[in-house]
Amino acid sequence: MKKIQTLALTLLGLLAACSTVPPATLPAGSPAPAACAPCPACPVCPPTAPPPVPAFSRTFLPAAWADLPGWAEDDVGAAWPAFLLSCRGVGSKGNGAAWKRVCDQARAVDGKPGFDARRFFEQHLKPYAIANGDGAVDGLVTGYYEPLLRGSRVKAKGFEQPLRGVPDDLLTIDLSAVFPELKDKRVRGRLEGNKVVPYWSRAEIVARGDKLPGKTLLYVDDAVELFFLQVQGSGRVRLADGSLVRVNYADQNGHPYQSIGRVLVERGELKLEEASMQGIQAWARNNPARLDALLNTNPSYVFFREMPSSEGGPVGALGVPLTAERSIAVDPRSVPLGAPVFLATTRPNTSQPLNRLVMAQDTGGAIKGAVRADFFWGFGKEAGEQAGRMKQAGRMWVLLPAELAPK
């Protein structure tokens, strides 16, 4: 028993170094929100931002449909297929019975003559404004996308950057059965003798190279594009024969994400407004000899798994394919995964409204807090251009069945 207690205490200590960082979503580059945590989707947060509100601290405030800016103008029907996909995933989540009732009704009317999606949502769900624990209703909205890389099944000249599967020696330890307060924590580590120690950092993984036990899935041609694939959490790789390989987040080394954009700004090599994905890519092209050292300032490292070919979007944390411009990533401790959310924000680097119904179908290690969303732009270069610049202020309303009304 003493050994078990000692191991548990050791693992608790590791939590300071090993945090849950699932696929994060884009290093993109609006006024700063009330809370702005370091994140891939926000390479550099304004230095004047106050300390972040705890991720689990949130309030749902009753609202009327008229309170949702642009609700009457949005093409709600465009979100309907994404909602039906959510219905495939919410049944296994908490409060599944309430969602099953609504989803059964949705399937019963789907495709019927005269069907009106907006009327359905208004009849079966109620809107609630989401606020942070401090009462702030404004938050941060960033963007992410599914990138396209060039690669090879074998290491060859020009294709030397390894896209790695989960290493054989990576341990993922869940202590929530013993310590319920650690429900949302997972320790990543490795065995050193009979002792669990933190897993290798990015720099150590790179230095170990082929000595790292485990399969290399593919080799790609660009180190910075591979880095951003790790930030996105999913993508596609085009092989020389024209075929596409789809890859998705599988696990992570347990080290927290550190913004390389922030590093470049602190060094005076980029201005704050330049620290977008595009700005970092431009810096990398101009400083190839310094790129590895920059990437290694971020100790986090993401491992992938190969996915079956499909025409839809990448599979998100809900277990269903994401829908371009109708799916978002949220903090599931604050916003119910699978729920419809009305998002009121602006298009990247503009004041043009972007108000629409979206589905909370994904998560990300950098998405922390209640009024916080990562907007999925879709696949390819154009989606990346939008996502890479997106760092906007926004508000959110969650739509819930009557049975789930906040008490």
Question: How far is 208 from 83, CA to CA, in rounded Å?
Answer: 44
Question: Which residue in 166, 272, 172 sits closest to 214, CA to CA?
Answer: 166
Query: CB neighbours of 199 closer than 8 A, spacing ≥ 6?
Result: 18, 170, 171, 188, 189, 190, 253, 254, 255
Structure tokens at 201: 């950092």
> 204-211, long-range: CB within 8 Å, 24+ apart, which pairs?
205/164, 205/253, 205/301, 206/292, 206/296
Q: How far apart are CA 23 and CA 251, in angstroms?
A: 8
CA distance 70 to 292: 45
Backbone φ, ψ for residue 218 (5° rounding): -150, 170
Determine the longest span between alpha carbons in the chain, in angstroms.
67
User: How would you list the strands of the sheet with 148-152, edge to edge?
Assistant: 161-164, 216-220, 148-152, 234-238, 244-252, 302-307
The CATH number assigned to the domain holding 141 equals: 2.40.40.10
Q: Which two tokens stand for residue 58?
A: 């949130």
Q: What pLDDT does 40 receive?
A: 40
Q: Is 394 helix (H, G, I), strand (E, B) or coil?
A: strand
Q: Digits of tens for pLDDT over the chain (407 positions)?
A: 444 444 444 444 444 444 333 333 333 333 333 333 334 444 333 334 444 434 445 799 999 999 999 999 999 999 999 999 999 998 766 667 889 999 999 999 999 999 999 999 999 999 999 999 888 999 999 999 999 999 999 999 999 999 999 999 999 888 777 777 666 677 899 999 999 999 999 999 999 998 999 999 999 999 999 999 998 889 999 999 999 999 999 999 999 888 899 999 999 999 988 888 889 999 999 999 999 999 999 999 999 999 988 878 999 999 999 999 999 999 998 999 999 999 999 999 999 999 999 999 999 878 899 999 999 999 999 999 999 899 999 999 999 999 998 87
Which helix (H) or strand (E) is 282 found in, with range? helix 277-286
Question: What domain count does the chain have?
Answer: 1
The span from the CA of 62 to the CA of 50, in Å, is: 27
Predicted local distance difference test score (pLDDT) of residue 359: 98
Q: Give burial (CB, 10 Å; 0-12/13-18/19+) of 402.
A: exposed
What confidence tens digit (pLDDT) does each residue in 230-284 have?
988 899 999 999 999 999 999 999 998 888 999 999 999 999 888 888 899 999 9
pLDDT for the residue numbered 310 = 80
**pLDDT confidence of residue 37:** 37
- What is the reported pLDDT for 183? 67
The pTM is what?
A: 0.79
| Distance from C-alpha of 38 to C-alpha of 45, rounded to nearest angstrom | 6
Residues 105, 373: contact at Cβ < 8 Å? no
CB 336 within 8 A of CB 95: yes
**Alpha helices, H only, 300-362:** none
3-state secondary structure of 247: strand
Domain hosting residue 312, numbered range? 2-404
- Residue 53 Cα to chain centre, angstroms: 19
Rounded CA separation 38/288 (Å): 25
User: What does the alpha-carbon distance between residue 367 and residue 360 come to, in Å, rounded to a whole number?
Assistant: 12
Q: Cα(119)–Cα(11) distance, rounded to whole angstroms?
A: 51
